[in-house]
Amino acid sequence: MGGGRAVTDRVERALERIGRLDPELCAFAEVWDEEARARARSVDRRLPLAGMPFAVKGPAGIRSYAAQRLVAAGAVPVGSTAVPGPGTYWQTWGRGRHGRTVNPYRADRTPGGSSAGSAVAVAAGMVPLATGSDGAGSVRIPAAWCGVFGLKTTNGLLPSPDRTGLASAGVLTRSAAEARAYLDHVLDAPRPAPPPLALPLPAVFSADLGFARTEPEVAAVVRAAVERLVAAGVVQLLSDRTPFTLLDPREAWLSVRGGAAADAEGAGRAAGVRAENVRRLDGLFAGAELLLTPVTPNRPHGHEGPGEAYSTALTWAFNLSGHPAASVPAGFTADGCPVGLQLVARRGADVRLVEMAVAAESAVIRVRP
Protein backbone atom coordinates (compact mmCIF):
# COMPACT_ATOMS: atom_id res chain seq x y z
CA MET A 1 0.00 0.00 0.00
CA GLY A 2 1.34 3.44 -0.88
CA GLY A 3 2.58 5.80 1.76
CA GLY A 4 0.12 8.64 1.11
CA ARG A 5 0.66 12.38 0.92
CA ALA A 6 1.29 12.87 4.66
CA VAL A 7 4.10 10.32 4.60
CA THR A 8 5.84 11.82 1.57
CA ASP A 9 5.38 15.33 2.94
CA ARG A 10 7.34 14.46 6.09
CA VAL A 11 10.28 13.23 4.06
CA GLU A 12 10.08 16.16 1.66
CA ARG A 13 10.15 18.66 4.54
CA ALA A 14 13.23 16.96 5.98
CA LEU A 15 15.02 17.05 2.62
CA GLU A 16 14.11 20.72 2.13
CA ARG A 17 15.47 21.63 5.54
CA ILE A 18 18.67 19.65 4.94
CA GLY A 19 19.16 21.39 1.61
CA ARG A 20 18.69 24.80 3.21
CA LEU A 21 20.69 24.37 6.43
CA ASP A 22 23.36 21.79 5.75
CA PRO A 23 25.69 23.96 3.63
CA GLU A 24 26.33 26.00 6.78
CA LEU A 25 26.18 23.30 9.46
CA CYS A 26 27.78 20.44 7.50
CA ALA A 27 25.92 17.71 9.39
CA PHE A 28 25.59 15.26 6.49
CA ALA A 29 28.21 13.25 4.65
CA GLU A 30 25.64 11.98 2.16
CA VAL A 31 22.00 12.82 1.43
CA TRP A 32 19.88 10.19 -0.30
CA ASP A 33 17.25 12.44 -1.86
CA GLU A 34 15.85 10.19 -4.56
CA GLU A 35 16.11 6.99 -2.55
CA ALA A 36 14.28 8.63 0.35
CA ARG A 37 11.51 9.95 -1.89
CA ALA A 38 11.06 6.55 -3.52
CA ARG A 39 10.92 4.79 -0.17
CA ALA A 40 8.40 7.33 1.16
CA ARG A 41 6.14 6.75 -1.85
CA SER A 42 6.19 2.98 -1.40
CA VAL A 43 6.22 2.53 2.38
CA ASP A 44 3.20 0.83 3.92
CA ARG A 45 1.43 3.61 5.80
CA ARG A 46 0.10 1.06 8.29
CA LEU A 47 3.61 0.61 9.74
CA PRO A 48 4.12 2.36 13.08
CA LEU A 49 6.90 4.69 11.90
CA ALA A 50 5.66 5.12 8.33
CA GLY A 51 7.44 8.04 6.72
CA MET A 52 9.43 9.18 9.74
CA PRO A 53 12.67 10.61 8.32
CA PHE A 54 15.85 9.72 10.18
CA ALA A 55 19.60 9.91 9.68
CA VAL A 56 22.26 7.30 10.30
CA LYS A 57 25.71 7.81 11.75
CA GLY A 58 28.54 7.63 9.26
CA PRO A 59 28.99 5.69 6.04
CA ALA A 60 28.23 2.29 7.60
CA GLY A 61 25.27 3.47 9.66
CA ILE A 62 22.61 2.18 7.28
CA ARG A 63 23.88 -1.36 7.85
CA SER A 64 23.53 -1.16 11.61
CA TYR A 65 21.03 -3.36 13.39
CA ALA A 66 19.16 -0.34 14.79
CA ALA A 67 18.82 1.32 11.37
CA GLN A 68 17.46 -1.85 9.82
CA ARG A 69 14.88 -2.22 12.59
CA LEU A 70 13.76 1.38 12.10
CA VAL A 71 13.42 0.81 8.34
CA ALA A 72 11.38 -2.34 8.99
CA ALA A 73 9.00 -0.20 11.08
CA GLY A 74 8.51 2.18 8.16
CA ALA A 75 11.03 4.93 8.94
CA VAL A 76 12.84 6.48 5.98
CA PRO A 77 16.61 7.04 6.06
CA VAL A 78 17.48 10.34 4.37
CA GLY A 79 21.26 10.33 4.67
CA SER A 80 24.42 9.52 6.61
CA THR A 81 25.83 12.02 9.07
CA ALA A 82 29.30 13.45 9.49
CA VAL A 83 31.88 11.71 11.65
CA PRO A 84 35.51 12.66 12.37
CA GLY A 85 37.94 12.49 9.50
CA PRO A 86 40.98 10.17 9.41
CA GLY A 87 43.75 10.95 11.85
CA THR A 88 41.63 13.02 14.23
CA TYR A 89 42.67 11.34 17.45
CA TRP A 90 40.41 13.43 19.65
CA GLN A 91 37.26 12.53 17.66
CA THR A 92 35.22 15.59 18.67
CA TRP A 93 34.25 17.02 15.32
CA GLY A 94 32.85 15.85 11.99
CA ARG A 95 33.62 16.16 8.29
CA GLY A 96 30.48 16.70 6.22
CA ARG A 97 30.05 16.92 2.46
CA HIS A 98 30.22 20.74 2.67
CA GLY A 99 33.11 20.89 5.14
CA ARG A 100 33.74 20.92 8.88
CA THR A 101 30.69 20.22 11.06
CA VAL A 102 29.92 23.17 13.33
CA ASN A 103 28.06 23.56 16.59
CA PRO A 104 24.57 24.97 15.87
CA TYR A 105 24.82 27.32 18.87
CA ARG A 106 28.41 28.48 18.39
CA ALA A 107 29.86 28.01 14.90
CA ASP A 108 33.33 28.59 16.31
CA ARG A 109 32.95 25.54 18.56
CA THR A 110 32.86 21.81 17.88
CA PRO A 111 29.58 19.89 18.12
CA GLY A 112 31.37 17.03 19.87
CA GLY A 113 31.87 13.55 18.52
CA SER A 114 32.02 11.11 17.18
CA SER A 115 28.24 11.24 16.47
CA ALA A 116 28.80 14.86 15.48
CA GLY A 117 26.59 15.14 12.43
CA SER A 118 23.79 13.15 14.06
CA ALA A 119 23.58 15.62 16.94
CA VAL A 120 23.67 18.66 14.65
CA ALA A 121 21.04 17.22 12.30
CA VAL A 122 18.66 16.69 15.21
CA ALA A 123 19.45 20.01 16.92
CA ALA A 124 18.76 21.94 13.71
CA GLY A 125 15.48 20.09 13.11
CA MET A 126 16.68 18.47 9.90
CA VAL A 127 15.52 15.07 11.21
CA PRO A 128 13.66 14.11 14.40
CA LEU A 129 15.95 11.16 15.10
CA ALA A 130 19.46 10.05 14.23
CA THR A 131 21.35 6.92 15.15
CA GLY A 132 24.67 7.03 16.95
CA SER A 133 27.17 4.80 18.67
CA ASP A 134 28.95 5.42 21.94
CA GLY A 135 32.30 3.93 22.89
CA ALA A 136 33.49 6.63 25.30
CA GLY A 137 30.75 9.27 25.17
CA SER A 138 30.24 9.53 21.41
CA VAL A 139 26.46 9.95 21.71
CA ARG A 140 26.25 11.75 25.05
CA ILE A 141 28.92 14.39 24.39
CA PRO A 142 27.53 15.71 21.09
CA ALA A 143 24.02 15.53 22.57
CA ALA A 144 25.17 17.68 25.48
CA TRP A 145 27.05 20.19 23.32
CA CYS A 146 24.21 20.51 20.78
CA GLY A 147 21.39 20.75 23.34
CA VAL A 148 19.52 17.55 22.44
CA PHE A 149 18.70 14.24 24.11
CA GLY A 150 21.15 11.37 23.68
CA LEU A 151 20.99 7.77 24.91
CA LYS A 152 23.77 5.20 25.22
CA THR A 153 22.12 1.83 25.64
CA THR A 154 23.31 -0.88 28.03
CA ASN A 155 26.40 -2.47 26.54
CA GLY A 156 25.42 -5.70 24.79
CA LEU A 157 21.71 -4.87 24.65
CA LEU A 158 21.96 -4.30 20.88
CA PRO A 159 24.48 -5.76 18.43
CA SER A 160 27.73 -3.85 18.10
CA PRO A 161 30.67 -4.41 15.76
CA ASP A 162 33.07 -3.26 18.48
CA ARG A 163 35.40 -6.12 19.37
CA THR A 164 36.24 -4.62 22.77
CA GLY A 165 32.63 -4.39 23.93
CA LEU A 166 33.07 -0.73 24.89
CA ALA A 167 30.79 0.71 22.21
CA SER A 168 27.03 0.41 22.28
CA ALA A 169 24.24 1.62 20.04
CA GLY A 170 22.59 4.93 20.78
CA VAL A 171 20.15 7.50 19.54
CA LEU A 172 19.83 11.28 19.41
CA THR A 173 16.44 13.03 19.44
CA ARG A 174 15.05 16.46 20.25
CA SER A 175 13.48 15.13 23.45
CA ALA A 176 13.55 12.02 25.62
CA ALA A 177 9.93 11.30 24.70
CA GLU A 178 10.92 10.98 21.04
CA ALA A 179 13.51 8.34 21.97
CA ARG A 180 10.71 5.97 23.05
CA ALA A 181 10.08 5.08 19.41
CA TYR A 182 13.71 4.03 19.00
CA LEU A 183 13.63 1.57 21.89
CA ASP A 184 10.15 0.36 20.99
CA HIS A 185 11.36 -0.76 17.59
CA VAL A 186 15.02 -1.75 17.99
CA LEU A 187 14.72 -4.09 20.95
CA ASP A 188 14.66 -7.76 19.95
CA ALA A 189 11.22 -8.52 21.34
CA PRO A 190 8.35 -6.60 22.87
CA ARG A 191 9.09 -5.89 26.52
CA PRO A 192 6.62 -5.17 29.27
CA ALA A 193 6.17 -1.51 30.01
CA PRO A 194 8.19 -0.41 33.03
CA PRO A 195 6.20 0.16 36.19
CA PRO A 196 5.06 3.76 36.68
CA LEU A 197 7.70 6.02 38.14
CA ALA A 198 7.30 6.64 41.84
CA LEU A 199 8.44 10.23 42.25
CA PRO A 200 10.66 11.55 43.64
CA LEU A 201 13.36 9.26 42.33
CA PRO A 202 16.19 8.63 44.81
CA ALA A 203 19.33 9.99 43.18
CA VAL A 204 22.96 10.78 43.84
CA PHE A 205 24.70 13.80 42.33
CA SER A 206 28.41 14.20 41.69
CA ALA A 207 29.99 17.07 39.82
CA ASP A 208 33.29 15.26 39.25
CA LEU A 209 33.03 11.58 40.31
CA GLY A 210 36.02 12.30 42.52
CA PHE A 211 38.62 12.80 39.80
CA ALA A 212 37.42 15.02 36.90
CA ARG A 213 38.44 18.68 36.70
CA THR A 214 34.99 20.06 36.01
CA GLU A 215 34.81 23.71 35.02
CA PRO A 216 33.09 25.67 37.81
CA GLU A 217 30.51 27.19 35.45
CA VAL A 218 29.64 23.82 33.91
CA ALA A 219 29.23 22.34 37.39
CA ALA A 220 27.05 25.28 38.43
CA VAL A 221 24.73 24.90 35.41
CA VAL A 222 24.25 21.20 36.10
CA ARG A 223 23.83 21.70 39.83
CA ALA A 224 21.13 24.31 39.15
CA ALA A 225 19.35 21.84 36.86
CA VAL A 226 19.46 19.19 39.57
CA GLU A 227 18.06 21.66 42.07
CA ARG A 228 15.16 22.34 39.69
CA LEU A 229 14.48 18.62 39.57
CA VAL A 230 14.47 18.47 43.35
CA ALA A 231 12.15 21.47 43.59
CA ALA A 232 9.76 19.89 41.06
CA GLY A 233 9.64 16.64 43.03
CA VAL A 234 11.29 14.59 40.28
CA VAL A 235 14.33 13.52 42.29
CA GLN A 236 15.31 13.35 45.92
CA LEU A 237 19.03 13.61 46.52
CA LEU A 238 20.42 11.08 48.95
CA SER A 239 22.85 12.28 51.55
CA ASP A 240 26.11 13.52 50.06
CA ARG A 241 28.04 13.73 53.30
CA THR A 242 30.28 11.06 51.76
CA PRO A 243 30.47 12.07 48.08
CA PHE A 244 30.15 9.26 45.56
CA THR A 245 33.42 8.62 43.73
CA LEU A 246 34.79 6.27 41.13
CA LEU A 247 38.36 5.41 40.22
CA ASP A 248 39.55 7.41 37.22
CA PRO A 249 38.82 5.06 34.28
CA ARG A 250 41.16 6.69 31.77
CA GLU A 251 43.99 4.16 31.81
CA ALA A 252 41.58 1.24 32.12
CA TRP A 253 39.60 2.40 29.09
CA LEU A 254 42.77 2.89 27.04
CA SER A 255 44.00 -0.56 28.04
CA VAL A 256 40.74 -2.26 27.08
CA ARG A 257 40.64 -0.33 23.80
CA GLY A 258 44.21 -1.45 23.10
CA GLY A 259 43.15 -5.10 23.37
CA ALA A 260 45.97 -7.51 22.56
CA ALA A 261 48.38 -4.59 22.24
CA ALA A 262 48.01 -3.80 25.95
CA ASP A 263 50.71 -5.18 28.24
CA ALA A 264 49.76 -7.79 30.85
CA GLU A 265 50.44 -5.46 33.79
CA GLY A 266 48.27 -2.73 32.29
CA ALA A 267 45.50 -5.20 31.55
CA GLY A 268 45.60 -6.37 35.15
CA ARG A 269 45.31 -2.82 36.48
CA ALA A 270 42.47 -2.15 34.05
CA ALA A 271 40.57 -5.20 35.24
CA GLY A 272 41.02 -4.06 38.83
CA VAL A 273 39.73 -0.53 38.15
CA ARG A 274 36.81 -1.90 36.17
CA ALA A 275 35.82 -4.36 38.88
CA GLU A 276 36.07 -1.77 41.66
CA ASN A 277 33.98 0.77 39.78
CA VAL A 278 31.33 -1.85 39.04
CA ARG A 279 31.29 -2.74 42.75
CA ARG A 280 30.77 0.91 43.69
CA LEU A 281 28.05 1.40 41.10
CA ASP A 282 26.25 -1.76 42.19
CA GLY A 283 26.31 -0.42 45.73
CA LEU A 284 24.93 2.94 44.62
CA PHE A 285 22.10 1.42 42.58
CA ALA A 286 21.11 -0.81 45.48
CA GLY A 287 19.60 2.32 47.01
CA ALA A 288 19.28 4.87 44.21
CA GLU A 289 17.52 5.01 40.84
CA LEU A 290 19.85 7.53 39.25
CA LEU A 291 23.40 8.81 39.28
CA LEU A 292 23.51 12.43 38.08
CA THR A 293 26.65 14.13 36.75
CA PRO A 294 27.63 16.67 34.10
CA VAL A 295 28.09 14.95 30.75
CA THR A 296 31.41 16.68 30.21
CA PRO A 297 33.70 18.55 32.59
CA ASN A 298 34.18 21.28 29.96
CA ARG A 299 32.16 23.33 27.52
CA PRO A 300 32.47 22.81 23.74
CA HIS A 301 36.00 23.63 22.64
CA GLY A 302 37.19 25.22 19.43
CA HIS A 303 37.84 23.32 16.23
CA GLU A 304 41.57 23.25 16.92
CA GLY A 305 41.02 20.55 19.55
CA PRO A 306 40.47 20.09 23.29
CA GLY A 307 44.03 20.74 24.43
CA GLU A 308 44.74 18.92 27.67
CA ALA A 309 41.09 18.45 28.62
CA TYR A 310 39.42 15.05 28.43
CA SER A 311 35.81 15.65 27.40
CA THR A 312 35.23 11.94 28.05
CA ALA A 313 36.26 12.15 31.71
CA LEU A 314 32.70 11.70 33.03
CA THR A 315 31.34 9.38 30.33
CA TRP A 316 33.73 6.54 29.60
CA ALA A 317 33.42 4.91 33.02
CA PHE A 318 29.95 3.76 31.95
CA ASN A 319 31.26 2.23 28.73
CA LEU A 320 33.55 0.15 30.92
CA SER A 321 30.79 -0.74 33.39
CA GLY A 322 28.10 -1.20 30.73
CA HIS A 323 25.44 0.96 32.38
CA PRO A 324 22.91 2.85 30.23
CA ALA A 325 23.40 6.60 30.33
CA ALA A 326 21.64 9.58 28.82
CA SER A 327 22.30 13.27 28.25
CA VAL A 328 19.48 15.73 28.96
CA PRO A 329 19.85 19.46 28.16
CA ALA A 330 20.58 21.26 31.43
CA GLY A 331 21.11 24.87 30.41
CA PHE A 332 23.78 27.15 28.99
CA THR A 333 27.00 28.78 30.07
CA ALA A 334 27.16 32.57 29.97
CA ASP A 335 28.85 32.44 26.55
CA GLY A 336 25.97 30.47 25.01
CA CYS A 337 27.33 26.93 25.13
CA PRO A 338 24.88 24.10 25.86
CA VAL A 339 25.55 21.92 28.92
CA GLY A 340 24.25 18.39 29.43
CA LEU A 341 23.11 16.57 32.56
CA GLN A 342 24.06 12.88 32.53
CA LEU A 343 21.57 10.35 33.92
CA VAL A 344 22.97 6.88 34.64
CA ALA A 345 20.76 3.93 35.62
CA ARG A 346 21.04 0.23 36.40
CA ARG A 347 22.22 -2.11 33.64
CA GLY A 348 19.28 -3.18 31.50
CA ALA A 349 17.03 -0.34 32.70
CA ASP A 350 17.10 1.46 29.35
CA VAL A 351 13.33 1.82 28.94
CA ARG A 352 12.99 3.05 32.50
CA LEU A 353 15.91 5.45 32.03
CA VAL A 354 14.13 7.07 29.08
CA GLU A 355 11.00 7.47 31.22
CA MET A 356 13.08 9.07 33.97
CA ALA A 357 14.57 11.43 31.39
CA VAL A 358 11.05 12.32 30.21
CA ALA A 359 10.15 13.18 33.80
CA ALA A 360 13.28 15.34 34.05
CA GLU A 361 12.37 17.23 30.89
CA SER A 362 8.84 17.78 32.15
CA ALA A 363 10.35 19.71 35.05
CA VAL A 364 11.51 22.36 32.56
CA ILE A 365 15.12 21.32 32.81
CA ARG A 366 15.72 22.72 29.33
CA VAL A 367 16.65 26.41 29.57
CA ARG A 368 17.55 28.19 26.31
CA PRO A 369 19.28 31.58 26.10
CA–CA distance, 311 with 348 (Å, rounded to integer)? 25
Q: Cβ(117)–Cβ(29) under 8 Å?
A: yes
Q: Cβ(148)–Cβ(27) under 8 Å?
A: no
C-alpha neighbours within 13 Å on the C-beta side of residue 280: 19
128 membership: H or E segment, kind and range: none
Torsion of CA 163, 310, 222, 317, to 10 degrees: 30
24 membership: H or E segment, kind and range: helix 4-25
Radius of gyration, CA atoms only, the chain = 20
Just list the catalytic residues: 57, 114, 138
Nearest Cα to Cα of residue 325 among 153, 146, 130 = 153
